[in-house]
């Protein structure tokens, strides 16, 4: 009985054979994921899908929660632990993610404050092209798949329209926020950073990163680790049994997230304290909690220039994705040949 359980728990695929160049490439993909996770509205899971490492990432994280691994760990069988876990892959990707967070948190924070239209436009084009490229991984669409895609789109559209709340800065809530956000980070279309924004913890955590405040980041990281391992079990199971349906709902989540990524917005609600006064962020700016999407202003030459540049950046984002997809397919054909 125990032998059959171990066989069921064991990894389903062999670890890919990689060289140093491959691991550097994985770290660069991790950097793309980390950069995406920093921006509220963009999902690191989307980048993993675009870059062709999504399913391996889910399976690798899933392995950490399997009984076989923990039995080996409790017996201090370190060799067996390293055999089971796809640790080289996870470390390479994790290095890239953390490098992106440390290097890009400040410039991306500046872009969000000073040039949001250009930043959102680039990611809008990136996600639109991503949805298209991922849709090609479903061999044959049918009515069920289309309905599932619509459900995912509506769900993401509603979630990204939620209003952020005021929440405590206690250790347990930081842990909970990390767990919730980490689940979204591996769901294309649902941004972990945006869920932190809804939970009222985005500014707190981004400030902790920029100010190198270790303790709150440890609580968030611990929650993220638990959330990742737990949720990866579900995703891996879905991919193995309902691959096309899972992809369809993930594409829907990506499409629904475009509501958040639309570059032109109008502020309609702001964060207030108990006395009804505006609450300022770390930059001394009033914190906006609700926006509505509007059409770009092309009534002036400045507006026309801004709109043209934004559209150009959206096209650039789409082209980047299509080039990555083209390169990945070319490399796959070369390896097969």
Residues 10-39 pLDDT 10s: 444 467 778 888 899 899 989 988 887 776
Residue 327 in any domain: the answer is no
Separation between Cα atoms, residue 51 and residue 195, nearest integer Å:
23
Residue 9 in any domain: the answer is no
Q: Are 292 and 268 in contact (CB under 8 A)?
A: yes
Residue 3 in any domain: the answer is no
What the block records as the tokens of 49 is: 């899908």
Separation between Cα atoms, residue 337 and residue 300, nearest integer Å:
55
What's the sign of the alpha-carbon dihedral 262, 268, 269, 275?
positive
Please state the domain count of the chain.
Answer: 1
Per-residue pLDDT reduced to its tens digit, 129-170: 878 888 888 989 999 999 999 999 999 888 877 766 667 778
The domain of 303 spans: 16-318
Q: Is the pLDDT of residue 282 over 70?
A: no
CA angle at 54 for the pair 51 and 58, rounded to the nearest 5°: 160
Residue 104 in any domain: the answer is yes
What the block records as the tokens of 302 is: 């400045």
265-270 vs 288-293, strand pairing mode: antiparallel
Separation between Cα atoms, residue 271 and residue 1, nearest integer Å:
58
Residue 76 in any domain: the answer is yes
Per-residue pLDDT reduced to its tens digit, 170-213: 888 899 888 888 877 677 656 677 677 767 787 778 778 777 88
Residue 300 in any domain: the answer is yes
Residue 337 in any domain: the answer is no
Q: Is the pLDDT of residue 285 over 70?
A: no
Model pTM score? 0.68
What's the sign of the alpha-carbon dihedral 92, 94, 96, 99?
negative
Residue 146 in any domain: the answer is yes
Higher pLDDT, 123 or 99: 99
């Amino acid at each position: 009985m125990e032998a059959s359980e171990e066989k069921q728990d064991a990894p389903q695929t062999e670890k890919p054979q990689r060289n140093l160049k491959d691991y550097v490439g994985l770290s660069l993909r991790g950097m793309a994921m980390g950069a995406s996770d920093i921006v509220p509205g963009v999902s690191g899971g989307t980048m993993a899908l675009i870059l062709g490492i999504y399913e391996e990432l889910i399976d690798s994280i899933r392995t950490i929660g399997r009984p076989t691994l923990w039995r080996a760990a409790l017996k201090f069988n370190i060799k067996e632990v390293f055999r089971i876990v796809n640790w080289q892959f996870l470390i390479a990707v994790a290095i890239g993610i953390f490098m992106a967070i440390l290097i890009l948190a400040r410039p991306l924070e500046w872009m969000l404050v000073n040039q949001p239209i250009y930043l959102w436009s680039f990611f809008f084009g990136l996600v639109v092209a991503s949805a298209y490229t991922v849709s090609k991984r479903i061999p044959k669409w049918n009515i069920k798949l289309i309905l599932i895609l619509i459900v995912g789109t509506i769900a993401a559209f509603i979630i990204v329209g939620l209003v952020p709340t005021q929440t405590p800065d206690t250790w347990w809530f930081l842990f909970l926020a990390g767990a919730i956000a980490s689940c979204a980070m591996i769901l294309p279309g649902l941004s972990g950073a945006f869920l932190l924004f809804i939970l009222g913890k985005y500014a707190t955590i981004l400030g902790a990163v920029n100010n190198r405040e270790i303790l709150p980041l440890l609580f968030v990281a611990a929650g993220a680790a638990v959330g990742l391992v737990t949720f990866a079990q579900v995703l891996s199971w879905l991919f193995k049994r309902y691959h096309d349906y899972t992809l369809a709902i993930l594409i829907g989540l990506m499409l629904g997230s475009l509501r958040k990524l639309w570059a032109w917005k109008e502020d309609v609600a702001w964060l207030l304290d108990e006395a009804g006064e505006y609450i300022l962020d770390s930059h001394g700016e009033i914190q906006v909690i609700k926006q509505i999407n509007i059409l770009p202003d092309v009534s002036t030459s400045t507006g026309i220039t801004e709109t043209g540049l934004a559209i150009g950046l959206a096209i650039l984002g789409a082209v980047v994705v299509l080039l990555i997809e083209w390169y990945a397919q070319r490399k796959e054909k070369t390896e097969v040949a």
